[in-house]
Structure 1
Amino acid sequence: MKHELVALVTGAANGIGKAVARKLASRKISLFLTDINKEQGANAAKEISQTYGVRAEFLCTDVSKETEIQRMVAESLSLTGRLDYAANCAGICETVATEERSITTDWFDKVYSINTRGLWLCQKYEAEQMLRQTPRPIDFSPRPEKHSVPPQRGAITNVISISGLVSLGLAAYTPSKHAATGITKNGAKFYGPSGIRVNASCPGWTVTPMTERHMGNIAVPGTPEYDRSSINEKIACRRFGLAEEQANLISFLLSDESSYMNGALVVNDGGYYNIDN
């Protein structure tokens, strides 16, 4: 009898987080969704449950607050008593990319509290729960011919950005994402020996409500501004990615099919970072 898998997804009300939740639900994984946006998050959980026939619960959570993260992880156990996967998608970004004079200390601290400190706390408490769990057998097909893959306790994927690998400006966001790469690598080192894998996806330019809000029609496919954008000229695929395309990668990094991946920073940017930088 197969174990009912449970995934925790932060930042799940929209964008990449919601796309990840939908993708995992399509794999019949039960979900515990969190976001600071209560109405959108609750609606996302209801929609996903009805569409995919899985259990999906929502908890309004501010990942800048340690006590709320602790409660989030504790309540995620209400489904099965386990936490098999965690996708940390919550994040914020400023709209000013080309200078840092206008970035205030308060804003820098707010970005840090969510993108860096919040990510670290999520990883820390998710891993603490996974450490308490009995390892689960790894299942994928075709099976290895001679040797079995050791069981694992869980998998965590942190959503960073190519801004964690290269500077695109963004005086608060870029440092927060560079720090997130170190959090991910430390997580892989700390928890890998106990059967918990920690990896990161590094999306490039992606169509989401956040990019549309910050960039306007430049981030909306089909508009004149998007079609003549200089950003697309720097991407080998000549387009922004979709949230669903990012979700496919994150789903893979959480799945048993990536059972030997740990500490990886996987770029998914249509051919931008590795070609022009």
Structure 2
Amino acid sequence: MAETASYSAVVTGGASGIGEAVCAKLASRGINILIADIQEAQGQALATQLSSTFSVQAKYLRVDITKEDDVKVMVETVVKLWGRLDYAANCAGICESTWAEERSVTTDVVDRTFAINQRGLWLCQKHEAQQMESQEPRAVKLEPPSRFPVRGQRGAIVNVASISALNGMGLAAYTPTKFAVIGITKNGAKFYGPNGVRCNAICPGWTLTPMLEISMGEEGYEGSKASEESAVCSNISLGRFAFSQEQANVVSFLLSNESSYVNGAHIVVDGGFNAIR
């Protein structure tokens, strides 16, 4: 269902994978989208597609989240376009392909992964939340309506962590950064919640995205024989990998009024893997 007023969102890593699905989901709700990514051709094409399909304003901006100036411009651009920043989904991230050991993982790989997944995400949350704090609150509407007024909120942020943030599963560079995402999110809930800005995270399990293709090879390709026969699926209660749209649905919920009392949480979206392992 479309939003009843003009809302705006920024999605980092929005040109592909979970970020792309989040852009489409939010656009389907009538929300204007800034697609922040370094993949220019994909980002521009997605912006055109979303604008046409959902009759929203979708724009692409090249953003390297490791650069604070880029992050500042990203937030400023949303405000220039639409007057405020209501929602932010921080989906940008990278992952190596070495699962079983860390001897071969170089400091260059670790530094690059930390710069994007941890420091970059922290920069995004910080600047997004500071903008949200400066805005007038929007009403929180409950259905059926509450007998008493509900304090308005100024914005919501969702950070993409991973089930690797919950267990030691390998990936020596990637895993520590995803543990950090949960800590950054919880701190965000503490810092910004009193001013009406909610910060939450999702912990996706194996999801069919370009990142899974990088980290798992042929097993990560949607529709491939190796994917359908992957031994990983035997450890997932639902018996399959996730689709990016299924992760986007949960992000959308956490950015909506329907989750108005959810703050500092991380929701596991892994088909039951973590619960039964």
Query: TM-score, normalized by length of structure 1?
Result: 0.96
* Aligned ranges 1:1-277 → 2 under 5 Å: 2-144=4-146, 146-276=147-277
Provide, for residues 149-173 of structure 1, a one-character-per-residue CA deviation record: whole Å limited to 9, x for no partner. 2100000000111111112100000
Deviation at 1:38, TM superposition (A): 1.0
Range with greater deviation from structure 2 (224-233 or 109-118): 224-233
Secondary structure of 2:82's counterpart equals coil
Q: Is the contact made by 2:96 and 2:214 (CA closer than 8 Å) also made in structure 1?
A: no
Deviation at 1:76, TM superposition (A): 1.1
Deviation at 1:140, TM superposition (A): 4.0
Deviation at 1:2, TM superposition (A): 4.4
Runs of 4 or more consecutive aligned structure 1 residues displaced over 6 Å after TM superposition = none
Secondary structure of 1:78's counterpart equals helix
Secondary structure of 2:168's counterpart equals coil
Secondary structure of 2:36's counterpart equals strand
Gap change, CA 1:221 and 1:18, over 3 Å in 2 = closer
Aligned residues between the structures: 275
Q: Is the contact made by 1:236 and 1:270 (CA closer than 8 Å) also made in structure 2?
A: yes
Range with greater deviation from structure 2 (134-143 or 191-200): 134-143
The separation in 2 between residues aligned to 1:21 and 1:253, in whole angstroms, is: 14
Gap change, CA 1:140 and 1:25, over 3 Å in 2 = farther
Range with greater deviation from structure 2 (78-87 or 255-264): 78-87
Provide, for residues 84-112 of structure 1, a one-character-per-residue CA deviation record: whole Å limited to 9, x for no partner. 00000000000111111111111101000
Q: Is the contact made by 1:6 and 1:79 (CA closer than 8 Å) also made in structure 2?
A: no
The separation in 1 between residues aligned to 2:71 and 2:152, in whole angstroms, is: 27
Q: Is the contact made by 2:95 and 2:214 (CA closer than 8 Å) also made in structure 1?
A: no
Secondary structure of 2:80's counterpart equals coil
Identify unmatched segments of 5+ residues in structure 2.
none
Secondary structure of 2:88's counterpart equals strand
The separation in 2 between residues aligned to 1:191 and 1:115, in whole angstroms, is: 21
Deviation at 1:79, TM superposition (A): 2.3
Q: Which amino acid aligns with 1:121?
A: L
Deviation at 1:176, TM superposition (A): 0.6
Q: Which amino acid aligns with 1:93?
A: C
The separation in 2 between residues aligned to 1:228 and 1:33, in whole angstroms, is: 34
Deviation at 1:42, TM superposition (A): 1.0
Q: Is the contact made by 2:165 and 2:182 (CA closer than 8 Å) also made in structure 1?
A: yes
The separation in 2 between residues aligned to 1:188 and 1:59, in whole angstroms, is: 27
Deviation at 1:226, TM superposition (A): 1.8
The separation in 2 between residues aligned to 1:41 and 1:275, in whole angstroms, is: 38
